[in-house]
Amino acid sequence: MGNFLSVISLNNIVIYLPQGLAVILLLGMAGWLLWKHTLPGPRALYSLLSLYIVLNLARGIFYSYVTYVGWQGNDLTKYWLPPHQPWYFYQHSLTEFFLPMGLNIALAVGWWLVLRFLYKKSNGDWIDKAEVALGLMTAALVGWPGIFVYLAVMFVLMMLWLVVLLITNRGAEVRVTITWPMLLAALVVLGGNTYVLAWLAQWGIKP
């Protein structure tokens, strides 16, 4: 009974590890921003994202191992493993445990390229290097399909902030920072993950 509960507990930890770690990273960024009034350097943000990716790779390897052991102990599914089926297990593991992460990274890189273009186009006036790195991190953390809600919420927050600045700084030039909208949008998506996925499913967009 104790071993069974340990397995269940470990499985729950592994299941919720990515989302929990993502929320911790975002809250840490928000806390740092409130304390220092600036983001950590781009290198630090890229390092944190790399750590997140490595932990997700470890999670995929763990699930692949659990799947292999489970199939090996079943009289039917053991024939899905090598040498009976040389490639089926690897294809299954790649599709189920690693491909979603690859898609998340690809989408995040796409958003990073947009932000990098804006950075170069404005010579750093619209967006700085740390915000470019933060954009890559937040997009990778929310992933597919939450990135659609992330971008929408971020845009709405930026427009609201712009309206506030225009009202409070009449006649003055204003700059809308993208830092807080990205952080808050990512937290909204991850915090309401179940509701976000349910809403997107109504539009035929599923993980």
More confident residue, 201 or 36: 36
- Give residue-wise pLDDT tens across range 63-107: 888 888 888 888 888 888 888 887 899 999 999 889 988 999 999
Residue 202's pLDDT band, with cuts at 50, 70 and 90, is low
> What letters, b where the CB count within 10 A reaches 16 and e where it falls short, cover 123-147?
eeeebbbbbbbbbbbbbbbbbbbbb
> What mean pLDDT do residues 147-165 have?
90
More confident residue, 38 or 176: 38
pLDDT at 2: 41
- Please write down the HEC assignment for all residues of the chain: CHHHHHHHHHHHHHHHHHHHHHHHHHHHHHHHHHHHCCCCCHHHHHHHHHHHHHHHHHHHHHHHHHHHHHHHCCCCHHHHCCCCCCCHHHHHHHHHHHHHHHHHHHHHHHHHHHHHHHHHHHCCCCCCHHHHHHHHHHHHHHHHHHHHHHHHHHHHHHHHHHHHHHHHCCCCCCCCCCHHHHHHHHHHHHHCHHHHHHHHHCCCCCC
pLDDT at 67: 87
124 dihedral zone (left: phi>0; alpha: psi -120 to 50; beta): left
Residue 141 is encoded by which pair of tokens?
Answer: 């953390």
> What mean pLDDT do residues 177-197 have?
84
pLDDT at 203: 61
pLDDT at 5: 39
pLDDT at 172: 65
- Give residue-wise pLDDT tens across range 4-31: 334 445 566 666 677 778 888 899 889 9
pLDDT at 157: 93
Report the percent of the chain where pLDDT is more than 90. 34
Count CB neighbours of 151 within 10 A.
16
Whether 183 shows a pLDDT value over 90: the answer reads yes
